[in-house]
Amino acid sequence: MALPSEFMQELRLRSDISQVVSGYVNLHRRGKISVGLCPFHGEKTPSFTVYPATESFYCFGCGVGGDVVSFIMRIENLDYIDAVKLLAQRAGLEMPQESSYDDSMQRLRLRVLEANREAARFFHSQLHTPQGKAGLEYLHGRQLSDGTIRSFGLGFAPDSWRSLTNHLLDKGFNSSELVQANLAMQSKKGDIYDRFRNRVMFPIIDTRGNVIAFGGRIMTDEKPKYLNTSDTVAFKKSNNLFALNRAKNSKSDKLILCEGYMDVIALHQAGFDFAVATLGTSLTSEQAVVIKRYTNTVVICYDSDEAGQKATARAIEILRRAGLDIHVLTIPDGKDPDEFIKKHGDSGAYRFRMLLENSGNDLEYKLTKLKEKYDMNTADGRAKYVNAAAVLLAGVRNSIQRDVYIGELAHEYNVTTESVERTVNYELRKRAKASKKDEFANAQKQLTNEGLAPIAGQRITGALRVVRAEEALIAYLVNNPDMAGKVTQSLPPQKFVTEFNRRVYSEVTSRILNGESAMLMDISPEFSAEEISRIAKILSNYNVDIATPKACMEYVDIILEESNKMTPKEITATMSNEEINRYFKWLGQAKKSKRKPN
Applying CB under 5 A, the residues found at the interface with Zn ion are 38, 40-41, 59, 61-62
Residues 246, 251, 253, 256: is their CA dihedral positive or negative? negative
CB 45, min distance to Zn ion, A = 11
67: nearest Cα among 520, 540, 382, 398:
520
CB 544, min distance to Zn ion, A = 22
Distance, in Å, from the CA atom of 170 to the CA atom of 166, rounded to the nearest integer, reads 6
Answer for the pair 267, 256: CB distance below 8 angstroms, yes or no: yes
Which CB atom, from 488 or from 540, has the smaller least distance to Zn ion?
Answer: 540
Which CB atom, from 41 or from 511, has the smaller least distance to Zn ion?
Answer: 41
The 8-class DSSP code of residue 264 comes to H
CB 65, min distance to Zn ion, A = 9
Distance, in Å, from the CA atom of 145 to the CA atom of 147, rounded to the nearest integer, reads 5
Distance, in Å, from the CA atom of 74 to the CA atom of 519, rounded to the nearest integer, reads 19
CB 487, min distance to Zn ion, A = 33
CB 435, min distance to Zn ion, A = 27
> What order do you get walking across the sheet with 325-328 strand by strand?
275-277, 254-258, 297-301, 325-328, 360-361
Looking at residue 105, its amino acid is: M
Distance, in Å, from the CA atom of 173 to the CA atom of 187, rounded to the nearest integer, reads 18
Distance, in Å, from the CA atom of 393 to the CA atom of 44, rounded to the nearest integer, reads 26
Q: How many CB atoms lie within 10 A of CB 262?
A: 20
Which CB atom, from 59 or from 247, has the smaller least distance to Zn ion?
Answer: 59
Which CB atom, from 45 or from 104, has the smaller least distance to Zn ion?
Answer: 45
CA 263 vs. chain centroid, Å, equals: 24
Which CB atom, from 117 or from 293, has the smaller least distance to Zn ion?
Answer: 293
Q: Is 193 helix (H, G, I), strand (E, B) or coil?
A: strand
CB 82, min distance to Zn ion, A = 22
CB 290, min distance to Zn ion, A = 12
Answer for the pair 340, 352: CB distance below 8 angstroms, yes or no: yes
Distance, in Å, from the CA atom of 503 to the CA atom of 555, rounded to the nearest integer, reads 17
- Per the DSSP assignment, residues forming a β-bridge with 328 are 300, 360
Which CB atom, from 61 or from 66, has the smaller least distance to Zn ion?
Answer: 61
CA 234 vs. chain centroid, Å, equals: 16
Which CB atom, from 64 or from 270, has the smaller least distance to Zn ion?
Answer: 64
522: nearest Cα among 513, 533, 534, 512:
512
Distance, in Å, from the CA atom of 469 to the CA atom of 556, rounded to the nearest integer, reads 8
CB 289, min distance to Zn ion, A = 9
CB 321, min distance to Zn ion, A = 14
Which CB atom, from 48 or from 385, has the smaller least distance to Zn ion?
Answer: 48
CB 64, min distance to Zn ion, A = 5
Which CB atom, from 65 or from 132, has the smaller least distance to Zn ion?
Answer: 65
457: nearest Cα among 470, 439, 471:
439
CB 276, min distance to Zn ion, A = 20
Which CB atom, from 285 or from 419, has the smaller least distance to Zn ion?
Answer: 285
Phi-psi region at 414: left, alpha or beta (left = phi > 0; alpha = psi -120 to 50): left
Distance, in Å, from the CA atom of 37 to the CA atom of 49, rounded to the nearest integer, reads 9
Which CB atom, from 40 or from 101, has the smaller least distance to Zn ion?
Answer: 40
φ, ψ (nearest 5 deg) of residue 224? -75, 150
CB 49, min distance to Zn ion, A = 10
> What order do you get walking across the sheet with 155-157 strand by strand?
155-157, 199-205, 211-218, 226-228
147: nearest Cα among 277, 271, 279, 241:
271
Which CB atom, from 46 or from 155, has the smaller least distance to Zn ion?
Answer: 46
Which CB atom, from 511 or from 537, has the smaller least distance to Zn ion?
Answer: 537
CB 39, min distance to Zn ion, A = 8
Q: How many CB atoms lie within 10 A of CB 366?
A: 18
